[in-house]
Amino acid sequence: MGTMLNRATAEQRREAASVVDDLTTVLALGGAKLPSLEVDWEYGRLTGCYLINLGSARTREVLRIVDLLRKGLRYERLTYDD
């Protein structure tokens, strides 16, 4: 990777790594996981745009994530609709 591109995308790389860490942590706290969750470093290196691959997961894991999202949305509606 060229030095200019490396410097220009440093914050994007940090942000991508941080969001993957945050998502992994939040899912773990909710009793769920995405085993293939990762940053697509190669795509980012080639384009300067870092994508987050959510990957493959068992149906049971995705159902747990859907359940957590629904609960979060219900909570958010109750909290912000007042």
Report how many domains make up the chain: 1
* Among 63, 54, 64, 60, CA closest to 34: 54
Given this model, what pLDDT does residue 80 score? Answer: 80
**Structural domain boundaries enclosing 45:** 3-80
What span, in angstroms and rounded, lies between the C-alpha atoms of 79 and 19?
Answer: 25
Confidence of residue 14 (pLDDT cuts 50, 70, 90): very high
What span, in angstroms and rounded, lies between the C-alpha atoms of 46 and 5?
Answer: 10
For residues 21-37, give the mean pLDDT: 96
For residues 3-17, give the mean pLDDT: 87
